[in-house]
Structure 1
Amino acid sequence: MLELVNINTYYGPSHVLQNVSFEVKKGEIVCLLGANAAGKTTTMKTIFGLVRPKSGSVLFEEKPIERTLTGDIVKSGMALVPEARRIFPRMSVLENLELGAYTRRNRVEVREDMERVCQIFPRVRDRLKQVAGTMSGGEQQMLAMARALMSRPRMLCMDEPSMGLSPMLVETVFDTILRIREEGVTIFLVEQNASMALSLADRGYVLQTGKIVLSDSAKNLLTNDLVRQAYLGGE
């Protein structure tokens, strides 16, 4: 469904992503693991056209999108839950959700999806009239996920969804990710919380200083010595 082929992305003279290649198949949850400054967020920005690669290809459903505008990428069926949530804090929860559907014209289907995301995220339903910036961090994360689903994506990309959340809220977020996958949405997950990410993913990749250094099933990565030492606190 999503494939990166030999992606090289620069910030000025800095070679941030170096021949990065990976794939996400339809129906999978795939995680990209890496420490701070490994290039994870740059990978996500490259996928969504926020940063242009100098070379290489980004394919969504076998179509190249590396030169496509971000809005058109969303229209094609891919949505982003950005790092640090990036909700619109001065707008209401309802207005945030409506902005998630800005590319859509069928208002009946939009209302149906509004009801669907409110069923998935009951805390969001309870706060539709509330100013979004007054919500807790966990509630804002739920809103960011619900807003992304309002575009009716076939693939959902999430950048550090556990960042800044308590362990209990992290578990809630990851349980919700599984529910979203059960509804037929493919998920690509960028995470530092390797233990939680690998516990629900099908496969994973490890990114170090801009290079993919390891790829395997999530089960095998959980027991891999490199992953355990670097991300799981193993000896």
Structure 2
Amino acid sequence: MAQHYFDSDPDAASRPSTADLVLPDLHLRLHTDRGVFSPDKVDLGTRVLLESVPAPPAEGRLLDLGCGYGPISLTMASRAPGAQVLGVDVNARAVGLARRNAAEHDLRNARFAVVAPEGGLAAEGGEGPAPAAEDLLGPFDAIWSNPPIRVGKNVLHSMLRTWLNRLTPEGVAHLVVQRHLGSDSLQKWLDAQGLPAERVASRAGFRVLAVRKAH
């Protein structure tokens, strides 16, 4: 059976590589590997998100949902050194890489956890300490995510309901979604879930949505 980056334990043979994250305020060389999302380069959607979002809260708890090998989490950690950043992913190989990347760039305010699709702590993988299960419950002052659209609507919707409802009352999530992969229909679905979404950027076929909890 074909392996995907959203498999919990991809069995693709390891082929370590690196990818450069180059932003106006940041340049990080990140370790990558086969079996994780976009191992050859930081994908365009992630870069659109990171070049479009406002600065994260300077303090508080920040979440990267579907962290992969860590480009979004580590940008948050670098831009908000006084905040605590949590990156979560179902892919144990990706989480191990994210921990390695955080350690090599001395971004000690970033931690990572392997999670189950329904949002709880899963079996551990990779090096480094895991956050406690209660740390996953938030509440989070900001969530940034390039969500795994290709997992299918049922899994995606369940994941987004779980994590977006862990925002603080004033918290904002920023999601990047390709237009042709359903960004407009996702925006309508979020609105119907009591998670009002607003398109705040559009570039290169990607939409950036700002999502809040209805009050």
* TM-score between the two structures when normalised by the length of structure 1: 0.37
Structure richer in helix, relative to its length: 1
Larger radius of gyration: 1
